[in-house]
Chains A and B, each alone.
Chain A
């Protein structure tokens, strides 16, 4: 009975949305300290290849692979971040874009390990592992009326959803903490931030590395959800796509990145018939956004407005802030 409602195709799109949200947050985090990094695709590739190779060749559990993938991406983030800190704005963007391209060429040419342009297949699939786990525990999906593949995709979706909730919760908390304040201050005015006693180098490397870890993490998830990766997955196009998530949705607030990733993943699926033109559309979106709404669809003002709207819906039990309205 449940089986009739669940379409594996939708579930898979859902999974992509959730992975893309992590990627969008990775660029949002680096942007929140005022650095524009286009290296996300490169870090994503590092995470994906690390995790895939470890699980294929050493039979490690997927969880270990994913953690290792994120860490290796994070370490690369520190290595790239430290020297690039001397750069800012468009120069940093170019340098990190170059880094991404170097990584892609690396994946293509290190054939003995990465199998070059052919890509890696037979990567352990998270959903299948989870299914085996449930089977071993004596649970059969057909008992709730689902086919095996529906059940696997559903498990993946739920897992990703939980991960997303945790990541979003973490960064919303961080924004309100000293770290978030330091990022915001550096973004607004480095000189002022320095004068206030904020260690700029430390916080810039921190935000850059957080972005790299998140991208590597998303890359590792990507590898284990798709079970196949090739260097083309982490090329220039991917970097631009991730950038669009943040630019379109809004890079000032975390909700903007989430919205951008969701919308930009659904749109090409909903408009399949024009999906061949999607990079053209991306280009147009970038131009129009830069011209008319450089801060993205969702910005601070919209957040303020939403905050005003929401508590009044929940009733006025919520403190003194809204008393003026009544």
Chain B
């Protein structure tokens, strides 16, 4: 089943066209990754899907419903949660308060229980529960941002470069968690520069270049694709 369907979106920054007609699909229960170099339009695509930018042309459908141009808070209500680039956390609130804020739109009584569950997925957050979020390390902050997004109980989780600026060991940990999130039933759309790691956990991948999709395919195939190997994986092509 198609969870998200993006058809020919074109997004502009004033007069500069950043996306030149991007189409992609996200199947339910899968991890789909968007790869590409700097300036390829990865983050712009993500921001457009998340409602932070409005496309001039094109259509975004979620579960068959047209969601083009909705605000982020409306999208979250529909089940699309974004973890923005650069670990946007509330640094002078405690870790626990940050998690509570993740459930901002929810009114049910299971929030506390869900926070407990999420802290099982991220044991470090449990340890640091009462600490101010700003005192966490970069990797812990990224985990907090992801944990917070999960607490809104999204159907689709948008992750914008979760590995940016983190140590290799932590990057591996984060990718492991993304896989666990998928296994728990949440669909993930992942924007990454770290092509190798992303493709290893993803089911499907799109490669962007200057605002267009140039290659797409199953993740295993992309890992073998000589064009990608040359451009992003830095391995000699055999």
Contacts and interface: CB of A to CB of B under 8 A. Distances in A.
Contacts of A184: 90, 93
Interface string B28-64: 0000000000000000000000101000000000000
A188 B91 CA distance: 7
Contact of B72 (A178, A181, A194): A194
B84 A195 contact: yes
Interface string A166-189: 000000000000100110110011
Given A189-B88, A191-B84, A191-B88, A196 B102 contact: yes
B104 A198 contact: yes
Contacts of A319: none
Contact of A178 (B90, B102, B104, B152): B104
A196 B104 CA distance: 7
A196 B148 contact: yes
A181 B101 contact: yes
B90 A194 contact: no
Contact of A199 (B71, B93, B102): B71
Contact of A188 (B76, B92, B145): B92
B16 to A, nearest CB: 20
Looking at chain A, what size class is its interface with the partner chain? 10 to 19
A192 interface: yes
B83 interface: yes
A197 interface: yes
A197 B152 contact: yes
A182 B71 CA distance: 16
Nearest to B87: A192
Interface string B133-161: 00000000000010011001000000000
A191 B77 CA distance: 17
A191 B86 CA distance: 10
B152 A196 contact: yes
A222 B149 CA distance: 47
B81 interface: yes
A194 B105 contact: no
B73 A198 contact: yes
Contacts of A185: 90, 93, 101, 104
Interface string A297-325: 00010000000000000000000000000
Nearest to B77: A197
Interface residues of B, number: 25
Nearest to B50: A195
Contacts of B90: 184-185, 188-189, 192-193
Q: Which of A178, A181, A195 has the most CB of B within 10 A?
A: A195
Nearest to B72: A194
A182 B105 CA distance: 11
A232 to B, nearest CB: 40
Nearest to B103: A196
Nearest to A252: B92
B182 to A, nearest CB: 20
Contact of A192 (B77, B81, B84): B84
A189 B101 contact: no
B89 interface: yes
Given A181-B101, A181-B104, A182-B104, A197 B92 contact: no
A196 B146 CA distance: 11
A6 to B, nearest CB: 45
Given A178-B104, A181-B101, A181-B104, A199 B91 contact: no
A189 B91 CA distance: 8
Contacts of B88: 189, 191-192, 195
Given A185-B90, A188-B91, A194 B101 contact: no
Contacts of B84: 191-192, 195
Contacts of B92: 188, 300
Contacts of B72: 194-195, 197
B71 A195 contact: no
Given A181-B104, A182-B104, A194 B73 contact: yes
A182 B73 CA distance: 12
B6 interface: no
B83 A195 contact: yes
Nearest to B85: A191
Contacts of A300: 92
B93 A195 contact: no
Contacts of B152: 196-197
A193 B152 CA distance: 13
A126 B92 CA distance: 43
A208 to B, nearest CB: 18
* In the A-B complex, the 7 residue pairs with the closest CB atoms: A197-B76, A192-B88, A199-B73, A191-B88, A188-B90, A197-B105, A197-B73
23 contacts: A178-B104, A182-B104, A185-B104, A188-B90, A188-B92, A189-B88, A189-B89, A189-B90, A191-B84, A191-B88, A192-B145, A193-B90, A194-B52, A194-B72, A195-B50, A195-B72, A195-B84, A195-B149, A196-B102, A197-B76, A197-B81, A197-B105, A199-B71
Given A192-B88, A197-B77, 6 more contacts: A188-B90, A188-B93, A195-B50, A195-B84, A195-B88, A196-B102
